[in-house]
Amino acid sequence: MPPAAKLRLEHLSMTFKTPTGSFQALAPVTLSIPTGRFVSVIGPSGCGKSTIFNIVAGLLQPSDGRVFIDGIDATGTIGRVGYMLQKDLLLPWRTVLDNVILGMEIQRLPLRQARERALPLLRRYGLAGFEHLYPSALSGGMRQRAALLRTLLFDTDVILLDEPFGALDAQTKLTMQEWLLQLWGDFGKTVVFVTHDVEEAIYLSDEMHVMATRPGRIVETIPIAIQRPRHRSVTLTREFIDIKERCMQLLTAAHNAALDEAA
Ligand code: ADP
Ligand code: MG
């Protein structure tokens, strides 16, 4: 028997009750992610990406379907995955160090031990000199580093990143992508990454799931077999451009379908 997927979504669907009736945000979505993969989910705004994440994180009960982690039903269970939103949600009254240890604190690790564990990581991952500053003193990229480290230190095997670099300028975003790949290589986590940015998704991922709206669903899964470690120049290769073109076709079709429906 093949090993169980690290994360498996089985026929997940979501219908929201609204004042005007019910709204199907998610048609049944099924996908399996093996241990240690970097997988992206890409699709137009409103196709249900954050809804999927909220369900996987146990914050939202699906209308139907199940979430399995290591083959065990984790539907509606909080705390099984690390989850980071685009808005970093760092606590303004805590220093960077004390923000980063939040997960360990929740898991009741003594404060001193938690700080001792976090300090070398802050230094190793580009936050040396920022440990004792408050988030308001940090740039957007630095805040995202802190938020991501905090998510990693929740000690879960799976992390969900919802457009973590969406608000950053282009150059910072590229730096953060390299930084994230380094962390992923070091920590060996299974990552599910939501983005609007096609190049970002291809550059980072082993596989991408392209979604469409109304109802939100996966229309195609594209494997990305580009060898690692990757260098920026892969974005100029035939292989990369072919994947990008296919992805753009799907996203344009999804976008046009949404416009037709709205008309
Ligand atoms: P995405 O993250 O892909 O932009 P979301 O998952 O946030 O999309 O939302 C998917 C759809 O579900 C959107 O049309 C959104 O308006 C709707 N939606 C999300 N949450 C709720 C809710 N609590 N009640 C009603 N509709 C919702
Ligand atoms: Mg979203």
Per-residue pLDDT of 28-83, as tens digits, reads: 999 999 999 999 999 999 999 999 999 999 999 999 999 999 999 999 999 899 99
Yes or no: say if 90 and 135 are a contact pair by the CB < 8 Å rule: yes
Q: What is d(CA 32, CA 6) in angstroms, rounded to the nearest whole number?
A: 8
**Global pTM?**
0.95
**Nearest ligand to the C-alpha atom of residue 163:** 2
What is the best residue among 13, 47, 53, 217 to mutate for testing ligand 1's pocket, by most ligand atoms within 8 Å of CB?
Answer: 47
**Which pLDDT does position 103 carry in this prediction?**
86
**Which pLDDT does position 136 carry in this prediction?**
96
Region 74-97 average pLDDT: 92
What residues does the ion ligand 2 have nearby, CB within 5 Å? 49-50
From ligand 1's centre to the CA of 199, what distance in Å?
24
Averaged confidence pLDDT in the chain: 94
Q: Which long-range contacts (CB under 8 A, 24 or more apart) does 161-165 make?
A: 161/84, 161/191, 161/192, 161/193, 161/194, 162/49, 162/50, 162/53, 162/83, 162/84, 162/85, 162/86, 162/194, 163/86, 163/194, 163/195, 163/196, 164/84, 164/86, 164/193, 165/195, 165/197, 165/200
Instruction: Provide residues with CB under 6 Å of ligand 1.
Output: 16, 18, 23, 25, 43, 45-51, 216
From ligand 1's centre to the CA of 47, what distance in Å?
7
**Nearest ligand to the C-alpha atom of residue 42:** 1
- The number of the ligand 1 atom at minimal distance from the alpha carbon of 52 is 6
From ligand 2's centre to the CA of 48, what distance in Å?
7
Band (206; pLDDT cuts 50, 70, 90): very high
Nearest residue by C-alpha to atom 13 in ligand 1: 46
From ligand 2's centre to the CA of 151, what distance in Å?
18
Residue 169: CB atoms within 10 Å: 11
From ligand 1's centre to the CA of 222, what distance in Å?
24
- The number of the ligand 1 atom at minimal distance from the alpha carbon of 60 is 23
From ligand 1's centre to the CA of 17, what distance in Å?
11
pLDDT of 11 > 80? The answer is yes
- The number of the ligand 1 atom at minimal distance from the alpha carbon of 18 is 25
List the CATH code of the domain at 36-45+80-262. 3.40.50.300
Yes or no: say if 66 and 11 are a contact pair by the CB < 8 Å rule: yes
* pLDDT digit string, tens, across residues 110-165: 999 999 999 999 999 999 999 999 999 999 999 999 999 999 888 899 999 999 99
DSSP for the chain reads -PPPPSEEEEEEEEEEEETTEEEEEEEEEEEEE-TT-EEEEE--TTSSHHHHHHHHTTSS--SEEEEEETTEE-TT-TTSEEEE-SS----TTS-HHHHHTHHHHHTT--HHHHHHHHHHHHHHTT-TTTTTS-GGGS-HHHHHHHHHHHHHTT--SEEEEESTTTTS-HHHHHHHHHHHHHHHHHH--EEEEEES-HHHHHHH-SEEEEEETTTBEEEEEEE----SS--GGGGGSHHHHHHHHHHHHHHHHHHHHHHHHH-
**Which pLDDT does position 2 carry in this prediction?**
59
- The number of the ligand 1 atom at minimal distance from the alpha carbon of 54 is 6
Residue 261: CB atoms within 10 Å: 9
Percent of the chain residues topping a pLDDT of 70: 98
Nearest residue by C-alpha to atom 20 in ligand 1: 51
